[in-house]
Amino acid sequence: MKLGMLTACLPHLSLAEIAAWASEAGYEALEVAAWPRTGGRDFEAAHLPVAGFGQRDAEEIRGLFERHRLDLSALAYYENNLHPDPARRAEIHAHLKAVIDTAAALDVPYVGTFVGRDWTRPVAPNLEEAEKVFPELVEYAGERDVRLIIENCVMEGWHPDGCPGNLAYSPELWEWMFSLGLYLNWDPSHLTWIGVDPVQTIAPYADRIVHAQAKDLQILPGKVDRYGFFGKAVQREDPWDTGWWRYRVPGRGQVDWSAVVDALYEHGFTGTLSVEHEDPVWGGTEEKVKTGLEIAHRTLRPLIVA
């Protein structure tokens, strides 16, 4: 097992700057954000020029990672592959294929994304639609020796009523998506707030957990008693603010990281545990984000065999 980090939390730094800092901070791998350069949301970090990525680009990136003694564990493009707008969905699929091509050029085994959801339709027709959409994407990746890995994030902010916007949030749905040839980028934080014990999900699905994300979650005392499980309903200006929980860096929330890492080892996980920093306490500035990543490293490094 190696300790890595997702680069998306530092969208305004170059990949070269992040690699230099991460190596110095003791990280061993990077999960590289590969959103398009749209100038949109901050978390849509574009740390690889996947559009038109060529041999010279590949040589430059390989050299960068070799100089800093880092692995490139996965490329990350977490978007809605079932978007209800056909034109937007086509854009997403085209960029996802460019990310897959770039992964193949760099010999990166995994590309992370979401199943997503058409939020205008119920769950059942979405599953049927996914069964039409994903085989072609899985085949495209497989032909290039790349696996598509799905993060089990609920993505409640994508749904107008805060319902799940990514149909990959529970073990029931994992079993369904595995049948489509998809793998899991396992994240315990999302399981924690929906009432699933993350440690208990490792053994049954160990053969499909090929990459993992390290993000913590803090339950805010007493808040669920006001809002209920589904979160704020009357005054929810931010679609991602449920009002009763928030993401934290590892070591600042509810997740038992000793138990998580132990279970991953017990069941044969040899991939990368990649810190995904979305902690509002340690966010907002580059300095604070880096401090949050240092806290995560101090939490996890003693648990991982050198």
pLDDT truncated to tens, each residue of the chain (306 aa)? 999 999 999 999 999 999 999 999 999 999 999 999 875 444 468 999 899 899 999 999 999 999 999 999 999 999 999 999 999 999 999 999 999 999 999 999 999 999 999 999 999 999 999 999 999 999 999 999 999 999 999 999 999 999 999 999 999 999 999 999 999 999 999 999 999 999 999 999 999 999 999 999 999 999 999 999 999 999 899 999 999 999 999 999 999 999 999 999 999 999 999 999 999 999 999 999 999 999 999 999 999 997
Model pTM score: 0.96
Q: Is residue 164 part of a domain?
A: yes
Q: Is residue 271 part of a domain?
A: yes
CA quadruple 215, 292, 10, 60: dihedral, nearest 10: -90
Structure tokens at 11: 């969208």
Q: Which helix (H) or strand (E) holds 141?
A: helix 123-142
**Amino acid found at 156:** E
Identify the pLDDT of residue 42: 45
43: Cβ–Cβ under 8 A, 6 or more apart, which residues?
Answer: 8, 9, 11, 278
In angstroms and rounded to an integer, the radius of gyration of the C-alpha atoms of the chain is 18
Q: Is residue 111 part of a domain?
A: yes
Q: Is residue 103 part of a domain?
A: yes
Backbone angles phi, psi at 75, to 5 degrees: -105, 145
Q: Is residue 235 part of a domain?
A: no
Identify the pLDDT of residue 45: 87
CATH code of the domain in which 64 resides: 3.20.20.150
Q: Is residue 225 part of a domain?
A: no
Q: Is residue 208 part of a domain?
A: yes
Q: Is residue 227 part of a domain?
A: no
Structure tokens at 227: 């809002």
Distance CA 163, CA 155 (A): 8
- Structure-token match 């997503």, residue found: 116
Identify the pLDDT of residue 182: 98
Number of domains observed in the structure of the chain = 1
**Structural domain harbouring 292:** 2-215+253-303
